[in-house]
Amino acid sequence: MLGFVGQFQHTLDVKGRLILPSKFRPEFERGGHLSPATEGCVALWTPGEFTRQTEEWLQLSRVGGAPMRQQMRYWASNSSSVDFDKQGRFAVPGSVRDYGALSGDVLVVGAIDHVSCGIRDICGEGECR
């Protein structure tokens, strides 16, 4: 699909799980990957798109010197794979919740090549910047 669009509000449950909107689920049948994104949001990538992102980070780190390698290490060390249960829920690791300040209501936004998760204070009035 890769054409994630739309926005949804879901609540992080007491176990730290978030529901993936049903229209996005087919692309995540083999799981997904969470990583830090811009403006404090958290990106949810399909396995194929995460591989593409990893290759892009690797290439940038090879030509970008020490600062880019440091950014790549931060991105990689704070990324994690996730699996989904039959209800479309996935556990958001504590470090990822901390990065995105995720608690309570979470805005789940289609961002074309990934799904962005953030809180309204960071994402603004219904859309992540």
Separation of alpha carbons 26 and 101, rounded Å: 27
pLDDT in tens, 39-54: 889 999 999 999 999 9
- In the chain, what is the greatest distance between 2 CA atoms, to the nearest angstrom? 43
Q: Is the pLDDT of residue 82 over 80?
A: yes
- Top pLDDT among 38 and 11 is at 11
pLDDT in tens, 87-114: 999 999 998 999 899 999 999 999 999 9
Separation of alpha carbons 52 and 34, rounded Å: 14
Q: Where are the domains of the chain?
A: 7-123
pTM for this prediction: 0.88
Question: Under 8 Å CB-to-CB from 104, ≥6 apart: which residues?
Answer: 11, 12, 119
Separation of alpha carbons 47 and 42, rounded Å: 16
Q: Is the pLDDT of residue 1 over 80?
A: no
Mean pLDDT for the stretch of residues 61-90: 92
Domain 7-123: CATH superfamily is Transcriptional regulator MraZ domain (3.40.1550.20)
Contact 84, 31 (CB under 8 A): yes
**pLDDT tier at 17, thresholds 50, 70, 90:** very high
Percent above pLDDT 70 for the chain: 91
